[in-house]
Structure 1
Amino acid sequence: MLEAHPKETGRGAVTPRGDAYDVLVIGGGINGVGIANDAAGRGLRVLLCEQHDLAAHTSSASSKLIHGGLRYLEHYEFRLVREALGEREVLLHKAPHIIWPLRFVLPHRDHLRPRWMLRAGLFLYDHLNRRTTLAASRALDLNGQGPLQASIRHAFEYSDCWVDDARLVVLNAMQARSLGADIRLRTRCVKARREGEGWQVDLQDAAGAVHTVRARALVNASGPWAARVIERVADNRSPHGVRLVQGSHIVVPRMYPGDQAYILQNSDQRIVFVLPYEERFTLIGTTDREYQGDPSTVHPSEEEESYLIGVVNEHFKRQLRREDICHRYAGVRPLVDDEDANPSAVTRDYTLTVQDAEGQAPLLSVFGGKLTTYRRLAESALERLAPWFKDMGPAWTASHALPGGNFESAAAYLAQLQRQYPWMEQDVLARYVRSYGTLCQSFLRGCNAAEDLGEAFGAGLTEREVKYLREREWAVTSDDVLWRRSKLGLHLTESQKARLATYLGESQTVSS
């Protein structure tokens, strides 16, 4: 079991002096909070600003995987795959409540990649980096059994991991805050200018008020907005073109029994994941298409939904229709533009650039990246900033748990909660374990009966939990609660969602 960072107890946490910071991070996605957390744990004064909510866009619109990226081997991205494979083991130990092993079935189809190629790729996948927790790959003889089409007789099975992507972002932000970082959500960076040895940065809050702060270094981790921030906010020229690639997912009622996932090959050389999701559902994705427009307003197209359904129907006995879709979402991946004509072939690796204007205050910008490698990206970012912060502490995140992850096993902790709260339903306690880990004690403490949890909004969501999310996890809206702090939006009825919105003082319609 990994320990928490010593400063998380509140002892020795760094607090900013007035409006002066060492590092100001723009962007509350996984890369931004990862860098803020790492920097705060090294003793730097950190401010993070995000124009919307944590994980409001790309970081909550993923396929929910911590994986090496099996298909990246075809594009010879061995460094990226090796790093990602190593991170699977690190993150499993850092966050056992929100990350857990998942077995993938890769069906073989004669007219696509040959069996020898799949076997060779999986051999590399098993051996490119040290593997201590996850099981190795193996061949399967299906013989027409199971949920796949009877014509699919052979397959391979291998290991990767599942993650609650939005909670991974939130937990990093919480840890950063516990280490002294100033986290400002619904706050937009409107202008940044170099003055003296640092930056003067104008931040606009949700009420429209503008506050000016100072920072020795500026980190641009704004994802799809990275080039825009460099050019319009910091008045610099972007060193890289950013290629926006839309990825869409659909959610349908559970398609098959069992906890295994599927990775489906398609004739266009792309792959589609079919994943067990929230107990009663199946998650299907993703697509790759060029995107033009505002990244905050991206939605799946009918063409993408039809594509995903078509790929699934070629493989599974159960046939899907568009009417089966009960939820859908899309995100925009900001990739470094390498001028490849195929969006699927554009590298998922990350690039870090530092613009320091002949020794002046640095602007570090993040291009690309993926959930799995966020921690290593953050370490690389701090290495790039080291010349300006010679007294900062060493790297630390590999050996410290994220908030709530300090338990030996999920099963043992669930059993402990059942002994503590025997009057609670087991499926609710199980959700607490896989969402909060030990953090759930923050809102369960002192409760001796269901009435102590306050109003019940449905699907096990209670007033106590909602108050905790508002007070400790920055939740403001129903969407924050139902789609980013949890996935209970899939389980509540429309009337229950409306009641929650009323409780939160909302007038707008909740997403579905």
Structure 2
Amino acid sequence: MDRVFDLAIIGGGINGCGIARDAAGRGNSVFLCEMNDLASGTSSWSTKLVHGGLRYLEYYEFRLVREALIEREILWQIAPHIIRPLRFVLPHHSGLRPAWLLRLGLFLYDHIGGRHLLPPTRSVDLAHDEVGKPLIANRYTKGFEYSDCFVDDARLVVLTARDAADRGAEIHTRTRAVEIRQADGIWQVTVENTISGARTTINARALVNAGGPWVEQVLSSGSGVNARAKVRLVQGSHIVVRKLYEHDRAYMFQNADGRIIFVIPYQDDFTLIGTTDRDYDGDPSKVKASNEEIQYLCASASEYLKNPVTPEDVVWTYSGVRPLYDDGASEAKAATRDYVFELDTPGGAPLLSIYGGKITTYRRLAEEALERLAPYLRSAKAKEGWTGKQPLPGGDMDVSAIAALTAELVRKYSFLPSAHANRMAHAYGTRAAKVLGSAKSMADLGQSFGASLTESEVRYLMSAEWACTAEDVVWRRSKLGLRLSSDQIAALDAWIAANRAAGERPLREAGGRT
């Protein structure tokens, strides 16, 4: 008889990978398929924050904010290499929210989520503090500074998948679910390799629909389920410009339309500005920042910054579609960011569909998903939550140890420029040595593709992290796309294609233990 997995998951974003990790760690056999690359949809196009969501307090989302604040420190502790603390400056705009309301919101933000590691809120004299220097003089004289965290979003997804695979899960990228049906209490999922076109059918006792923006399309693939919940697609666009200021703090700016934007130091030499919120009804795979959104973000930032930001300053844009639960809110900005589950059991076979969610709360979402599915799973460990205590790959160190790790890499690999060692530490943590191996010189790391990207690293990303194209490497796993020319990226793509064609480890084999 063909193998029957305990759990099949459709969707390789943060929610799907989070559930795969949790389920595999509880002793379940897990199959996950993703039609493109891991994190290639919504998960890699975020504002790159692990945060409580200060503005959600205005919509009385106290449960969500509390959960997100608790998760913020948990995630930092299990992945301190890809998550770092970030202080945010919130200038007081005299024509918008009153100072007492901001103070109250920040008091709640500091106290409802069990903050233990991050520093508390403080008032800031913007007329004299260095964080006021980039702002328009005399317009903003007071403000507040509070804590949240920055995250490498795509690496969070990939490392979560890596840990799931290390615990026995099968992770299949470039694998589309083309038909789902149930028979005799078992789900039969027909999947197609999007590169070769080959099809196969896998069997599973339970099925999770973590399709994100495509959650409704998954249900229409033969599941026999008529969804009660609806997804609301909301576009969020970001712009990246050259570094706007020298200090290391981010800003949260209030806009006259009631929305907020973040201005965040990005990759040392750049500044990230976002996000927009507007309803979207097109193909989620074709979303892009519009000229209107670019102008909106530039104008919003220029309302505060003494050196205006113009569309001509923009060096890169990106846009994603958030698959929010449709709660009937009149505006996209007011739609809930909380998550909702819909559990159906046609023919006795459980199908759990996921609507909404945030990167920050993905681990808790996965726990709750497994709690919902526990009656249908065979593992004796089905009710044991564990993911908040076990580090992600490379994260087995203290939250303050990243500088020491970088210094150790510089000592061990003395030929490595300090900036290169720093990038290795922040991307791979304690697994950096797996990438660098026994190299004694830069030549030992193989071909150089530019911007410190070497053959050794690319081979590691192909064999251990499911990288299949240059896009997978430079825009998701290494974030070096801004530092490489189009010719360099094309050369890398050709190299990867040639090495895959030559029979190096196929992508699907990266699902093994490493």
Same fold (TM over 0.5): yes
1:435 equivalent to 2:427? Answer: yes
Task: Give me the whole-angstrom Cα distance separating, in 2, the residues matched to 1:232 and 1:468.
Answer: 35
- Deviations along 1:200-237, whole A, 9 cap, x unmatched? 11111121111011100000001001112112342311
Letter in 2 for 1:451: A
Matches within 5 A, 1:156-167: 156-167=144-155
Letter in 2 for 1:326: V
Kept in 1, the 8 Å contact 2:230–2:325? The answer is yes
1:146 equivalent to 2:126? Answer: no
SS in 2 for 1:96: coil
Letter in 1 for 2:118: L
1:342 equivalent to 2:334? Answer: no
1:52 equivalent to 2:36? Answer: yes
Matches within 5 A, 1:372-391: 372-389=360-377, 391=379
What's the CA shift for 1:505?
2.7
What corresponds to 2:394 in structure 1? 404
What corresponds to 1:178 in structure 2? 166
Moved over 6 A (4+): none
- Deviations along 1:425-467, whole A, 9 cap, x unmatched? 0000000111111222112111001110111111100111011
Task: Give me the whole-angstrom Cα distance separating, in 1, the residues matched to 2:486 and 2:331.
Answer: 40
Letter in 2 for 1:23: L
Task: Give me the whole-angstrom Cα distance separating, in 2, the residues matched to 1:319 and 1:192.
Answer: 52
Task: Give me the whole-angstrom Cα distance separating, in 2, the residues matched to 1:273 and 1:293.
Answer: 26
Kept in 2, the 8 Å contact 1:475–1:481? The answer is yes
Normalising by the residue count of structure 2, what TM-score does the alignment of the two structures yield?
Answer: 0.94
What corresponds to 2:314 in structure 1? 325
Normalising by the residue count of structure 1, what TM-score does the alignment of the two structures yield?
Answer: 0.94
What corresponds to 1:217 in structure 2? 206
Task: Give me the whole-angstrom Cα distance separating, in 2, the residues matched to 1:214 and 1:498.
Answer: 39
What's the CA shift for 1:419?
1.0
SS in 1 for 2:220: helix
Kept in 2, the 8 Å contact 1:255–1:282? The answer is yes
Kept in 2, the 8 Å contact 1:67–1:84? The answer is yes
Q: Unaligned 5+ residue runs, structure 1?
A: 1-16, 507-512
Q: Unaligned 5+ residue runs, structure 2?
A: 499-514
Matches within 5 A, 1:185-264: 185-206=173-194, 207-264=196-253
Superposed CA RMSD: 1.1
Matches within 5 A, 1:362-377: 362-377=350-365
Q: Return 221-230 or 59-68, whichever deviates more.
A: 221-230
SS in 2 for 1:398: coil
Kept in 1, the 8 Å contact 2:225–2:346? The answer is no
Kept in 2, the 8 Å contact 1:44–1:392? The answer is no
Task: Give me the whole-angstrom Cα distance separating, in 1, the residues matched to 2:331 and 2:380.
Answer: 42
Task: Give me the whole-angstrom Cα distance separating, in 2, the residues matched to 1:226 and 1:460.
Answer: 38
SS in 2 for 1:505: helix
1:107 equivalent to 2:91? Answer: yes
Kept in 2, the 8 Å contact 1:219–1:363? The answer is yes
Kept in 2, the 8 Å contact 1:251–1:283? The answer is yes
Task: Give me the whole-angstrom Cα distance separating, in 2, the residues matched to 1:392 and 1:415.
Answer: 43
Task: Give me the whole-angstrom Cα distance separating, in 2, the residues matched to 1:402 and 1:389.
Answer: 24
Kept in 2, the 8 Å contact 1:418–1:424? The answer is yes
